[in-house]
Amino acid sequence: MANAFKVYCEKIDLENIDLKKVYTFKEFEYINDQLKTRTIQLDGKPVNLFEYKNGKLIPMPQVPIARAAVVAEIVRQLGNWNIETHQNGRITSSQGGFDFNVGGARTLRAPDVTFAPRQTTRSLNALQNWTFQGQPFTPIFVVEVDFIQSESEFQAFDDRFRNEFFAPGTSVELGFLVSIGQDNNGQLQGNIHSWR
pLDDT digits (tens, 9 = 90+) for 23-50: 999 999 999 999 999 999 998 889 989 9
pLDDT tens digits for 160-169?
A: 999 999 999 8
Output the pLDDT for position 89.
Answer: 97
Give yes or no for residue 2 having a pLDDT over 80. no
Share of the chain above pLDDT 90, in %: 63
Output the pLDDT for position 40.
Answer: 92
CB distance 57 to 31 below 8 Å = yes
Cα 67 from chain centre: 15
CB distance 81 to 65 below 8 Å = no
Share the mean pLDDT of the chain. Answer: 90
Cα 93 from chain centre: 8
Better-scored residue on pLDDT, 8 or 130: 130
pLDDT tens digits for 105-143?
A: 888 899 999 999 999 999 999 999 998 888 899 999 999
Give yes or no for residue 196 having a pLDDT over 80. yes
Instruction: Say how far apart CA 157 and CA 147 lie, in whole Å.
Output: 11
CB distance 163 to 151 below 8 Å = no
pTM of structure: 0.82
Output the pLDDT for position 70.
Answer: 93
Name the H helices within the chain: 2-11, 25-34, 65-84, 118-122, 126-130, 151-160
Instruction: Say how far apart CA 172 and CA 73 lie, in whole Å.
Output: 21
Residue positions counted in the chain: 196
> Strand, coil or helix: what is 141?
strand
> Strand, coil or helix: what is 187?
coil
Give yes or no for residue 178 having a pLDDT over 60. yes
Output the pLDDT for position 142.
Answer: 98
pLDDT tens digits for 69-86?
A: 999 999 999 999 999 999
What are the boundaries of each domain within the chain? Answer: 2-61, 65-195
Output the pLDDT for position 28.
Answer: 93
Instruction: Indicate the angle between helix axes 2-11 and 25-34, nearest 10 degrees.
Output: 90
CATH topology of domain 65-195: tt1808, chain A (3.90.1570)
Share of the chain above pLDDT 70, in %: 95
Output the pLDDT for position 183.
Answer: 76
> Strand, coil or helix: what is 182?
strand
- Residues paired with residue 178 on neighbouring β-strands, in sequence order: 145, 192
